[in-house]
Structure 1
Amino acid sequence: MPFQKEKPLHSLIAGATAGAIEAFVTYPTEFVKTRSQFSGKKQGPIAIVKETLKTRGITGLYSGCSALVVGNALKAGVRFVSYDHYKQMLADSEGKVGPGRSLLAGLGAGMTEAIFAVTPSETIKTKLIDDAKRPDPQYRGLLHGTGAIIRQEGLSGIYRGLFPVMMRQGANSAVRFTTYTTLKQFVQGTARPGQTLPSTITFTLGGIAGLVTVYTTMPLDVIKTRMQSLEARAQYRNTFHCAYRIFTEEGVLRFWTGTTPRLARLVLSGGIVFTVYENIIKAIGGREP
C-alpha cells in the first residue's frame, strides 16, 4: 500500500502539539528515570519519588519540565516532518515504503531531531534535574538555567552528549516508526477498505512501539544522561570513555538503569503521541492520498 503523505505545515503543527502534551503528561517518569541514572548512590524509582516529594513537594517531580515540554514540542514536530520527507525520498516506484526503508527514514528523522531540538533541551533538562537535587540549587528555572549554562560553558554547554543523543534518537525513531508503521499496515490490511482506525487501536500500537524501543535503546539513554550531567566534564573524556567506565566500574546491568520509569513513559508517550497526531491530522485535513 502506498503511504499517505502529510502536508509539512500540518504535520509540524500536529507533531508539536502531540509532543508538548505527551511531555507534560509523562514528565514525572522522565524525572525519576533521569535521577536514577546519575552516578553515585543507587536509588529505585519509589525511593526517588518519596525523597523528592518529602524535600521538594509535587513540583519537585516537575524540575526541568519546561525545558522538556518546549524541546519535545519542537522535537516531535521535526520528527514527523522529517520522517515523512525521508519516506518520500526512499519510496519505491509504486510509492511503497517497506520495513527496511522505514527503518532508514526513522533513523534519519531521529538524527535530524537530535541536532535541531533534542540535544539542547535534553542537556538543559538533565542539568536542571541534577541541580535540583543539591541542597542549594543554582538555577531558578528554564530561562535562568539556560542563560547560566551558556555563560559558564558557552553554546557547547547545551550540546553536551550530541553523539550519544544522535545515536539514541536515531535508534529510537528507527525502531518506533518501523514498529508502529508495520503494525498499522498489518491492522489496516485486516480492516475494511477506507476504514479509519479507532483511537484505542492507535494508542495500543503506539504503546507497543514504545515498549520495543525502550529495551533496544536503553544503554544509549544511560550514556546520554551521564554525558549531560553537571559532573560530566570532570568524569568522562568522551562518549566511549563514559561507556567504558560504566561497564568496568558498575557492570553491564547499569546500562539498563531507569528502564521501569522510561518504559512507563515511552509506552504512554507512544500511545499519546501517535493518537494525538493522527486525530489532529484528521481534524485539520493534513493528509494527502
Structure 2
Amino acid sequence: MVSGANDAKTPPIVSLAAGGVAGGIEAFTSYPLEFAKTRVQLRSQKGIPTPRNPFLVVTQVYRKEGIRALYKGCAALVVGSIGKDGVRFLFFDQIKNSFADPETGTLSPLRNLAAGMTAGVVASITAVTPTERIKTALIDDARNERRFRSGLHATRVIYQEHGILGLYRGFAGTTLKQASATAFRMGTYNILKDFETKRDIQQSTLVNFGNGSVAGIVTTLCTQPFDVIKTRSQSAHGTSTVEAVKSILLDYGVRGFWRGTTMRLGRTIFSGGILFTSYEAAVKVIMPLYSGVTHTVGADAA
C-alpha cells in the first residue's frame, strides 16, 4: 500500500480523503511552475517568442501582469487535483492491497506499474481531463483574447460552444499521460518504499520527500511527450490529438515533444516530494479520526 508508516491496510475512505488533501496542497504550492510550463508548451504568439527558462517566464508575467496572473487557472487545477489524487490514491491502494504478497505486503515492480496505470485511467475519466482543459484554456486565453473571466465562466462558455466533448478535448493525450504518469509516479514511489521496507529503513518525512522526488524525475522523463500533446489539444480553441501532434512537429520537430521538460522536471521533483509527504501525513491525521468514528458507530450498533 502507499500509505505508510504502519503496516495496516488503509481504508478506502482514508485513501480518498488523504489523497485529495495531498493533491490540493501539491497543486497550489507548485502552480507557478505549472503555469510557466504550460505557457511554453502552447504555440508562441507571432513576434513574441516564449523563453525556455521557467523562472524568466514567471518573472516576465509577474512584472507585466502581477502575482494574480501566475495563478490563472489555479482553482481549476486545485479542484481537479483534489479529485484526481483522491481517486488515484484510492484505486491504487485498493488494487495494491488486492494483489500484494500476503506475507510481505509488497508487489512486484510490474504489478506496481500496472496498478498505477489503472488508477491513472480512472482519474483521467473522472476528474483530470475536464479540469486540465479549463486550466489550459484559461492560461492560453490570458495571453491575448481574455474572454474568460473565471474557471466557471470558461466552463460555461466552452460547454455552450462545444458541448460536453469540448470539456473533454485532449482526452486521449490526457489519459495516456495520466496512465503512464501515475504508473511511473506511484510505481516508482512504491518500488522504492518496498525496497526500504525489506531492509528495515525507517520511513520519515525526509525519506518520503526523497522517494517522491525520485518518482517525479522518472515520471517526467518518461511521459513528457504526452504532456506536450495534451497541452496543445487543450488550448483556448482546442485541437484534436492528431492536429496537436502535427503542430508540434511543424513548430519544433521531434524535439518539440520534450518542450517544457526543464520546467516540468522542476515542478515534479518539488511536487512529487510534497504530494507523497502530504499523503503520508494526512493518513496519520485521518486514520485516528476514522477509527474513532467507526468504533463509535460499531459500539452504537451493538
Asked if 1:216 is matched to 2:222, the reply is yes
In 1: Cα distance, 2:106 partner to 2:28 partner? 35
In 1: Cα distance, 2:61 partner to 2:182 partner? 31
TM-score with structure 2 setting the length: 0.87
In 1: Cα distance, 2:206 partner to 2:238 partner? 42
RMSD (Å), alpha carbons: 2.1
Contact 2:173–2:230 at 8 Å: present in 1 too? yes
CA offsets per residue over residues 210-266 of structure 1, 9 Å max, x none?
011001100000000000012434xxxx32342244225421111111111111111
Secondary structure of 2:20's aligned partner: helix
TM-score with structure 1 setting the length: 0.90
Question: Is the alpha carbon distance of 1:144 and 1:241 closer, same or farther for their aligned partners in structure 2, counting shifts above 3 Å?
Answer: closer
Residue 258 of structure 1, aligned match among 250, 257, 260: 260
Report matched runs for 1:163-182 at 5 Å.
163-182=172-191
Asked if 1:122 is matched to 2:132, the reply is yes
Structure 2 unaligned residues grouped into runs of 5+? 2-6, 292-302
Report matched runs for 1:1-289 at 5 Å.
4-40=8-44, 41-44=49-52, 45-91=54-100, 96-134=106-144, 136-191=145-200, 195=202, 197-233=203-239, 238-285=240-287
In 2: Cα distance, 1:57 partner to 1:284 partner? 37
Superposed displacement of residue 191, structure 1 = 2.2
Contact 2:106–2:194 at 8 Å: present in 1 too? no
Secondary structure of 1:285's aligned partner: helix
| More moved, 144-153 vs 210-219 | 144-153
| Deviant stretches of 4+, over 3 Å | 88-96
Superposed displacement of residue 85, structure 1 = 2.1
Superposed displacement of residue 5, structure 1 = 2.4
In 1: Cα distance, 2:284 partner to 2:236 partner? 43
Superposed displacement of residue 37, structure 1 = 0.2
Contact 2:159–2:166 at 8 Å: present in 1 too? yes
Secondary structure of 2:130's aligned partner: helix
Superposed displacement of residue 283, structure 1 = 2.4
In 1: Cα distance, 2:161 partner to 2:136 partner? 16
